[in-house]
Structure 1
């Protein structure tokens, strides 16, 4: 093999033409003696590989392999054997082509595959080409860079082959399995998941087969994070795999969160599987706290817990029976138990002496009485005491009777807000008002019964016997109060008995007033939220079909569309589209067909972040419509409903809504502030505050009213000083406009919601889960606000109480193994994404240390600041059970 024409790299061979002679000689002169010896040794191996002697060939090839293996396994920035073999890559390739099939050729292909890592032309995929000729070799022995390069070439190859269904892919899938195993073994879990996604093999058992107690956390975290950016089917597959992994490693709380997120027709079997798989009673209690926080009703049966006493304790946790006690403990800890009056919120003395600026400045008007009622209800919600409803009457009588007609409904119902979550104490007091001779007071008391029972104890023996007796009352106000109370008390309960009662009201025909039908549809949608119950859906459609043409123009008719949409809330799997709506909705009157379809579409894809659906909704907002068309309002709200899932989509939606403000028609501009309020509920972003502040002075009064209400929504429960100051100035600015001043008062009450202890944010578990009951309450109010003057400022102002469905304490309450409050130090700070980060990075930044119970603001997360306990929940929010470590574990 001494023939110079062979191109063998010997010490006498000419330098490659790509290097000028002087430069090449200088490079050799710069090499150390050790590097020169290595270079000459490798050139000798190249020469001997081409020798006719098979023994010499094999020995040279093996020696070259060992040199490369030794160097690629080190952390050196430049792998010297690859550098020195670069001039001879073409020679080895040409020699390879002349060889017959043999084991030697396969082993040479393995070496060429590694050399191609730095020497092959871009797009050639030579590493993969040669590796497929020797797929039995150990891929991992060549180092991580080689494995990553091979994975990249595999994804490119797969894309080309997948275009031809007859082209086999088994050979590259075999390599994929090897690469996944290597990644999982060497702490590269995100890369293992990525390559499986690229080749559509995420369902392959190779991933779960390589998961153990050391890598499951990073694997599942990446699967969950990536799932938000995948198509629907792939998303469900990724989350299903994460759920399976969590079950295998007995992380039941994480598995339950994913099971609740999937929320399809198999949600109960999946949830039951997680619950029954857990045999630790203490962990079962933590699972029940997650059920309670999510807001769905889950009935325990004997198979899930054999012991009757234990089953009762678990069911009580699911029913939130101790929520009021925990909330009051939080209030006592923060020293805010003292009732607050509306005058304290108004701060009239700061308004430069404007007589009409504060309700406390003079004699109350009817509108001021009503505004004070709502402020008092929102600020003192759940505290069991206030300065209007739970005090002895003054010389002018009970507060309820200071209001007029329909305002009495809201006044009586406000007591239910004050007694929120305390069923044992609250229901007897509400029953005192039910015995009144005033029909409006009775209606408000019935609504108050539902408020007291909201998200607490969905059993039949509490609120149901009281409300059922008034569903057939002749007075419309009383019927509406009972129907709303039933819907609020049993939201998400999926009770067939309640569904049959409400369906019967919808079937009464034309004799039933439209407002009764509208609130029945909403309550039916709330009780069966997200269940896509066909019987309930058909009942709502039938109720609409019998209404007259003139009634189709009434704003309340739109609530039937929302009630129908609530049945499909979050059911993306149905594949709903504007041209593919359920059969029942296709019979809807043409006048509101588009309103109906867009409401249904936005509800079905709520919280999914589906970009295609947002594009469709924006397309409807760009249409130039005739007077009387109303469907663009729900289209704007739908953008917010879909995009609220994750931060990036949220920011993009805010920018899109800003464009709609500039170029949209009046009916679009009136809905934009409401959409902004939904996007940032209880999360006062500075950019959104500035937009709403400008809109609150808009020349269109309905735009201004919507902006003011949305200021209250984004500041709900935050006591945000910026929003508080804006609203105080607005109360002075609009002191002569009763309608706008009323909206300002409502917003003031919302900002101080629960004295800063409550939130309306429908997301929980680090914004992973969207509570369907909380979200349903929010969008019900926002759809009502699309016609502010008729509903909110008319006689149906009590729809504001639908917000109670979204109210929850923004707390971290740690409890011991006996479920008693346990005060421990925690660090609370801004949440940080740790996906794909190496090691065990901290999940918060800018934190401060405090003792529990603690408050968690928007975007905040908590970590334990003590090593004495281990939390049984992966997310520290709501109720978290702490288990004390043994002394050995602490060490």
Structure 2
């Protein structure tokens, strides 16, 4: 994985050096300092050797925001990297009980990102202590719950779920009105991500706990995550019926996102969901309209379809500022890592027209479009859409739910939540290796994936192909085939690593 990571980030590292980051650091306000230091972790993503060495000096700073950014950066560097010595846990865990709130948040979120999907018991013990503390600040409780959801994604851990529900039971009415509270149902939903068979048990417990307004929000959020990626038509219809009710409600936003999460499993479901979303935007109330652009971004993430780009381009000039910001972020999501020229031009025009928080959204989208200089992707599906990464989907879902109420979260007190997208980042290339796991350049045909087409004894699964030498980039909907009989693939020819060995029956001409 480290070989691919270094290849993917080589060009990006060349244009951003440590000195420039230091100059940027001293120009920022408090949260800006934390984000600037954490960005070093993003630049050195998956690279323990240099990443830890660069971030370590910021841990010695007297500024708590700089320390928080360093802790978050260490978590980002460690994202998706397995190490028997657990250096991230050793470096970060001591700060999770720091006196400064921002430092605690940096440590908690850094650990959640570093060990997402690992189900590490040490982290469960650490975070459950925070959740059981009746004197803990609300923001500590929320981010501890989110980190537990990321670390134990898809585990159906009842102990953690009960602890999060207990936190909500103990909150006063004023705290329940805080926007950040909306992330607590997401944290439980992550525990049951894609586990529809155990969904009913947790829903019975939730139904006993909350009033109708809170219960509706939790029901929709948990159901959409439990059935994410399943393509369950009955659940999509149920969510559509929720969106069609005239009385409205804050739970309609998660319902719109849920339609996208469930329907993204297959191409036909995606097309039908887009048609439904168009009608919802036309006739729905403001909660629905503001969620539709985010749902489109989820359906076509890192896959800039022309008609979807046109739709989001139109919505980015909507009269509703929330719709405008959501559409701008979604333009970045559908173009993430593609260097799409059309989206880049649209965002350049928007950057000359907007200011303030709107311009901030444009800059985020521009960064996403050029993610890893065009060598990375945010798509949670991989291996020719055969596999869904729960960790990648968890990162996307968390950020999208935060974007449902963007002003007080992403654009307000918690801009560093955007770094959770690191969980979904992965190289979008095909790299061929020999049996000793050394890079082996071979010619391959790269074209649009289609059903098998037989041609005079030569079946093909691609059309309109071009021949390149590996490593090659694979865009959404593309597939690769070996263009030589000199080697035999020992693994499927999909995104990522392919191991080849020489064909003993092949003879050179």
Name the TM-score, length of structure 1 as normaliser: 0.56
Distance verdict in 2 for CA 1:757–1:566, change over 3 Å: same
Question: Is 2:476 aligned against 1:848?
Answer: no
Q: What SS does the corresponding residue of 1:531 show, helix, strand or coil?
A: coil
Partner of 1:562: 186
Q: Which one of 491, 498, 501 corresponds to residue 880 of structure 1?
A: 498
Alignment of 1:633-648 (within 5 A): 633-648=253-268
Partner of 1:595: 217
Question: Is 2:236 aligned against 1:614?
Answer: yes
Once the two structures are TM-superposed, the CA of residue 840 in structure 1 deviates from its matched residue by 5.6
Q: Is the 8 A contact 2:6 2:47 kept in 1?
A: no
Aligned length, in residue pairs: 508
Once the two structures are TM-superposed, the CA of residue 848 in structure 1 deviates from its matched residue by 0.3
Query: 2-side partners of 1:596 and 1:768: how far apart?
Result: 30
Distance verdict in 2 for CA 1:546–1:868, change over 3 Å: same
Once the two structures are TM-superposed, the CA of residue 888 in structure 1 deviates from its matched residue by 6.2
Q: What SS does the corresponding residue of 2:247 show, helix, strand or coil?
A: coil
Once the two structures are TM-superposed, the CA of residue 461 in structure 1 deviates from its matched residue by 2.5
Alignment of 1:409-808 (within 5 A): 409-457=34-82, 459-509=84-134, 511-574=135-198, 576=199, 581-590=202-211, 591-625=213-247, 629-734=249-354, 737-808=355-426
Structure having the higher strand fraction is 2
Once the two structures are TM-superposed, the CA of residue 846 in structure 1 deviates from its matched residue by 0.7
Once the two structures are TM-superposed, the CA of residue 497 in structure 1 deviates from its matched residue by 1.3
Alignment of 1:98-247 (within 5 A): none
Query: 1-side partners of 2:218 and 2:125: how far apart?
Result: 23
Query: 1-side partners of 2:242 and 2:221: how far apart?
Result: 12
Alignment of 1:831-842 (within 5 A): 831-834=449-452, 841-842=459-460
List structure 1 segments (4+ residues) > 4 angstroms apart after TM superposition.
Answer: 835-840, 888-891
Partner of 1:391: 19
Distance verdict in 2 for CA 1:744–1:330, change over 3 Å: closer
Q: What SS does the corresponding residue of 2:411 show, helix, strand or coil?
A: coil
Q: Is the 8 A contact 1:650 1:679 kept in 2?
A: yes
Once the two structures are TM-superposed, the CA of residue 572 in structure 1 deviates from its matched residue by 2.4
Distance verdict in 2 for CA 1:839–1:494, change over 3 Å: farther
Once the two structures are TM-superposed, the CA of residue 582 in structure 1 deviates from its matched residue by 3.5
| C-alpha distance after superposition, 1:373-412 (max 9, x if no partner) | xxxxxxx3xx3x543x51268xxx6321211111111111
Query: 1-side partners of 2:113 and 2:208: how far apart?
Result: 29
Distance verdict in 2 for CA 1:870–1:795, change over 3 Å: same
Q: Is the 8 A contact 2:252 2:288 kept in 1?
A: yes
Q: What SS does the corresponding residue of 1:391 show, helix, strand or coil?
A: helix
Query: 1-side partners of 2:290 and 2:147: how far apart?
Result: 26
Question: Is 2:484 aligned against 1:862?
Answer: no
Q: Is the 8 A contact 1:614 1:639 kept in 2?
A: yes
Query: 2-side partners of 1:710 and 1:807: how far apart?
Result: 16
Q: Is the 8 A contact 1:415 1:430 kept in 2?
A: yes
Query: 2-side partners of 1:809 and 1:877: how far apart?
Result: 8
Q: What SS does the corresponding residue of 2:19 show, helix, strand or coil?
A: coil
Once the two structures are TM-superposed, the CA of residue 705 in structure 1 deviates from its matched residue by 0.1
Q: What SS does the corresponding residue of 1:843 show, helix, strand or coil?
A: strand
| C-alpha distance after superposition, 1:34-56 (max 9, x if no partner) | xxxxxxxxxxxxxxxxxxxxxxx
Once the two structures are TM-superposed, the CA of residue 425 in structure 1 deviates from its matched residue by 1.7
Q: What SS does the corresponding residue of 2:230 show, helix, strand or coil?
A: coil
Q: Is the 8 A contact 1:766 1:875 kept in 2?
A: no
| C-alpha distance after superposition, 1:567-586 (max 9, x if no partner) | 00011233x36xx6444323
Once the two structures are TM-superposed, the CA of residue 839 in structure 1 deviates from its matched residue by 6.3
Greater shift in the superposed pair: 771-780 or 834-843: 834-843
Query: 2-side partners of 1:547 and 1:587: how far apart?
Result: 16
Once the two structures are TM-superposed, the CA of residue 604 in structure 1 deviates from its matched residue by 0.6
Name the TM-score, length of structure 2 as normaliser: 0.96
Query: 2-side partners of 1:782 and 1:481: how far apart?
Result: 20
| C-alpha distance after superposition, 1:235-283 (max 9, x if no partner) | xxxxxxxxxxxxxxxxxxxxxxxxxxxxxxxxxxxxxxxxxxxxxxxxx
Once the two structures are TM-superposed, the CA of residue 328 in structure 1 deviates from its matched residue by 3.1
Once the two structures are TM-superposed, the CA of residue 834 in structure 1 deviates from its matched residue by 2.5
Looking at both structures, which has the greater relative contact order when contacts are Cα pairs under 8 Å and sequence separation is at least 6?
A: 2
Distance verdict in 2 for CA 1:612–1:825, change over 3 Å: same
Partner of 1:406: 31
Distance verdict in 2 for CA 1:851–1:594, change over 3 Å: same
| C-alpha distance after superposition, 1:303-332 (max 9, x if no partner) | xxxxxxxxxxxxxxxxx4xx2x33333566
Q: What SS does the corresponding residue of 1:623 show, helix, strand or coil?
A: coil
Q: What SS does the corresponding residue of 2:410 show, helix, strand or coil?
A: coil
Question: Is 2:427 aligned against 1:809?
Answer: yes
Distance verdict in 2 for CA 1:847–1:616, change over 3 Å: same
| C-alpha distance after superposition, 1:399-456 (max 9, x if no partner) | 2121111111111100000111001221122111111000001011000000000011
Q: Is the 8 A contact 2:203 2:219 kept in 1?
A: no
Query: 2-side partners of 1:722 and 1:804: how far apart?
Result: 25
Alignment of 1:51-130 (within 5 A): none
- What RMSD in Å do the two structures reach over aligned CA positions? 1.9
Distance verdict in 2 for CA 1:500–1:839, change over 3 Å: farther
Q: Is the 8 A contact 2:9 2:372 kept in 1?
A: no
Q: Is the 8 A contact 1:762 1:806 kept in 2?
A: yes
Residue segments in structure 1 that go unaligned for 5+ positions in a row: 1-319, 338-379
Q: What SS does the corresponding residue of 2:430 show, helix, strand or coil?
A: strand
Q: Is the 8 A contact 2:4 2:427 kept in 1?
A: no
Query: 2-side partners of 1:836 and 1:449: how far apart?
Result: 51
Query: 1-side partners of 2:329 and 2:506: how far apart?
Result: 55
Query: 1-side partners of 2:124 and 2:454: how far apart?
Result: 47
Larger radius of gyration: 1
Once the two structures are TM-superposed, the CA of residue 517 in structure 1 deviates from its matched residue by 1.0
Once the two structures are TM-superposed, the CA of residue 460 in structure 1 deviates from its matched residue by 4.9
Once the two structures are TM-superposed, the CA of residue 587 in structure 1 deviates from its matched residue by 3.7
Question: Is 2:440 aligned against 1:822?
Answer: yes
Q: Is the 8 A contact 2:33 2:65 kept in 1?
A: yes
Partner of 1:328: 6
Q: What SS does the corresponding residue of 1:641 show, helix, strand or coil?
A: helix
Q: Is the 8 A contact 1:330 1:853 kept in 2?
A: no
Once the two structures are TM-superposed, the CA of residue 874 in structure 1 deviates from its matched residue by 1.8
Query: 2-side partners of 1:533 and 1:466: how far apart?
Result: 26
Residue segments in structure 2 that go unaligned for 5+ positions in a row: none
